[in-house]
Amino acid sequence: MSEDRARAEVYARSGGIDEIFGHGQATDFSHRWAKGQLGVWRPANGLHLTRQTHEWLERNRNLARLGGWHVRSGAVLQEIPVWLANPWPAWWLIDDLTTPHVLIYCDDQPVRPHLPFESNADYAAFLQSESLKIA
């Protein structure tokens, strides 16, 4: 797949909003499997993020793996769940073996990790919203 097509599909999926937090204008295409490790241009390998989120992921790759936002080279991207805020906050598989690509809901995954740059109050509010959905 071409870089332009992969970017277009990921940007369409995000609606221009940071895919991890669900708010903030997304500006960066972030590779889950690093481009420097021969990560491919595919929707399953891309996230649309704000610059702040993208920079944090790059500095904290081991923590980013907890959310599926970074994966080790050679990974089968369609089999590794990733935490996305949209279409609703949950774990998703990104199946880009079809056209257009689809998100597959994974209901057996843990709540996403607390990110170091996220305030305790914001994370507590997130957890509260998750418990309201389950109740």
- The 8-class DSSP code of residue 103 comes to E
Determine the distance from the C-alpha atom of residue 20 to the mean position of all C-alpha atoms in its chain, rounded to a whole number: 5
Q: Are 64 and 70 in contact (CB under 8 A)?
A: yes
The residues of the chain scoring below 50 in pLDDT are 132-135
Which of 78, 74, 4, 15 minimizes the C-alpha distance to 41?
4
Q: What average pLDDT does the structure give for the chain? A: 83
Position 39 scores a pLDDT of 73
**DSSP run (H or E) holding 48:** strand 46-49
pLDDT (tens digit per residue) in 8-21: 999 999 999 999 98
pLDDT (tens digit per residue) in 26-46: 999 999 998 777 678 999 999
**DSSP run (H or E) holding 62:** helix 61-66
Q: Is there a cis peptide before residue 81, judged by omega within 30 degrees of 0?
A: no
Position 30 scores a pLDDT of 95
> What is the rounded CA–CA span in Å between residue 135 and residue 131?
6
